[in-house]
Amino acid sequence: MKDELLRALTSDSLIVLTGLGTSLGIPPVAESKAPNMWDLWEKVSVLDGFAFASGDVPAEILEAQNIEHFLSHIQAKLSINDDCELSDFLAKAQDVILDACSFVGPQSELDIHQLFLRKIGRRSARLQRTKLFTTNYDLAFEEAAARARFHIIDGFGLASHRDFEGALFDLDFVRRGTNDRLILEGNVLHLLKLHGSVDWERSGASTRRVSGKPKDPVLIYPSANKYQLSFRQPYLEMMSRFQMALRLPDVSLLVVGFGFNDEHIVAPIEAAIRGNVGLRLIVVDPGIRAESKRSKSLTWLERLAQDGDHRISLLEGRFDDLVRMMPDASEFDERQAHADRISRLDDRGTG
């Protein structure tokens, strides 16, 4: 497995897709912790107006306490009939979700996240920048990057440019070396948040990154309409780049903490597996052997692997298990660079 991870880390293009599982392991500070879907249900179900909002919700949704299906039902009802009371409840529910996901702060323990960024981000300058896609709203990776002295390219530019602009993903960090030679800066990676962020705010027709709680949050809340919302900006830019990255000839996709339940994200992954023979896929999930609970996509991937598709590797484990197992690509690159130097000297000597 370490050899597979090393091959992924040193492929020409490295894509990482993370989900809720990478945040659930962050130790809580006071009572602030990463919420799962059950936590969100509990917070929403005690709001004033819940009894009214749930009046005509199917019994199976209430019994399952499925927050995603519950909010989807409310949104579908509002699309047919504009109800002020129901609309107010939905706004309260979304505000509660925003607050619950804003748990990362200066006191949060993010050692595993920092180590993860070092291992995926310190690749050879000859390779493409690592692209980290996440469905999480929280700021765990941003905070970890700041502590680990990483530069993040996230579509918002520097402090003087806080509005989202897709073209900013095509910029990079370089430093001027001797004789005015430009050298790619180390510790740089792309961060693309597929479902929005707790610090994104709608500002007219644009999206802006803000400090503190946004007045008009830009989030794809848990609901069945994720697919439709992903075709709006800035999500459209993120999804487009995700699909383009999956088509590259020598690309590795490392998936951790993502349950393969979001159709709009799973579809391009499955299409890439079918059409891109140069794609290498590694999936890490603690419940990957639980056939009764896992998604149909994971079952399909397992069958492909068992049938001899060596591009696919499935690893049972948590986020921290993966990080501890991952080799250090920067050390590998130094060893490779040293081997290249010795080889060149030997060739000169024999010549």
Per-residue pLDDT of the chain (351 residues; tens, 9 = 90+): 889 999 999 999 999 999 999 999 999 987 789 999 999 999 999 999 999 998 888 899 899 898 988 998 898 888 888 889 999 999 999 999 999 999 999 999 999 999 999 999 988 888 999 999 999 999 999 999 999 999 999 998 766 567 898 888 988 888 888 888 888 888 899 999 999 999 999 988 889 988 889 988 998 888 766 667 677 889 999 999 999 999 999 999 999 999 998 889 999 999 999 999 999 999 999 988 887 788 899 999 999 999 999 999 999 999 999 999 999 876 655 555 665 577 667 666 654
CA distance 41 to 35: 10
Q: Are residues 209 and 307 in the same domain?
A: yes
- Give alpha helix (H) positions in the chain: 2-9, 21-24, 37-45, 50-53, 59-64, 67-80, 84-100, 111-121, 140-147, 226-229, 235-246, 263-275, 296-306, 319-325, 329-350
Q: Are residues 183 and 294 in the same domain?
A: yes
Task: Dump the DSSP string for 189-237.
Answer: EEEEETTEEEEEEEETTEEEE-SSS-SSEEE--SSTTHHHHTTSTTHHH
CA atoms within 13 A on the CB side of 78: 16
Residue-level pLDDT at 196: 93
User: Which one-letter DSSP state was computed for residue 29?
Assistant: B
Q: Are residues 192 and 319 in the same domain?
A: yes
CA distance 48 to 51: 8
Residue-level pLDDT at 91: 93
Residue-level pLDDT at 161: 60
Look at the block and give the residue holding tokens 């990776």. Answer: 141
Q: Are residues 205 and 276 in the same domain?
A: yes
Q: Are residues 114 and 57 in the same domain?
A: no
Pairing of strands 131-134, 251-256: unpaired
Name residue 193's beta-bridge partners.
Answer: 134
Most distant pair of Cα atoms in the chain: their distance: 86
CATH of the domain at 226: 3.40.50.1220
Q: Are residues 62 and 148 in the same domain?
A: no
Q: Are residues 87 and 132 in the same domain?
A: no
Q: Which of 83, 100, 117 is the last residue of a domain?
A: 100
Residue 341 lies in a domain: no
Q: With b meaning 16 or more CB within 10 Å and e meaning fewer, what string describes 86-96?
A: beebbebbbeb
CA distance 264 to 275: 17
Q: Are residues 136 and 195 in the same domain?
A: yes
Number of structural domains in the chain: 2
Q: Are residues 62 and 154 in the same domain?
A: no
Residue-level pLDDT at 195: 94
Give the number of residues written for the chain: 351
CA distance 102 to 35: 10
Q: What's the token pair of residue 290?
A: 């639980």
Q: Which residues contact 267 (CB under 8 A, 6 or more apart)?
A: none
CA distance 103 to 323: 22
Give residue 232's identity as a one-letter amino acid code.
Answer: R
CB 14 within 8 A of CB 130: yes
Q: Are residues 122 and 264 in the same domain?
A: yes
Instruction: Tell me the whole-structure pTM to 2 decimals.
Output: 0.89
Residue-level pLDDT at 184: 87
Q: State the residue range of the domain holding 86.
A: 37-100
Residue-level pLDDT at 226: 67
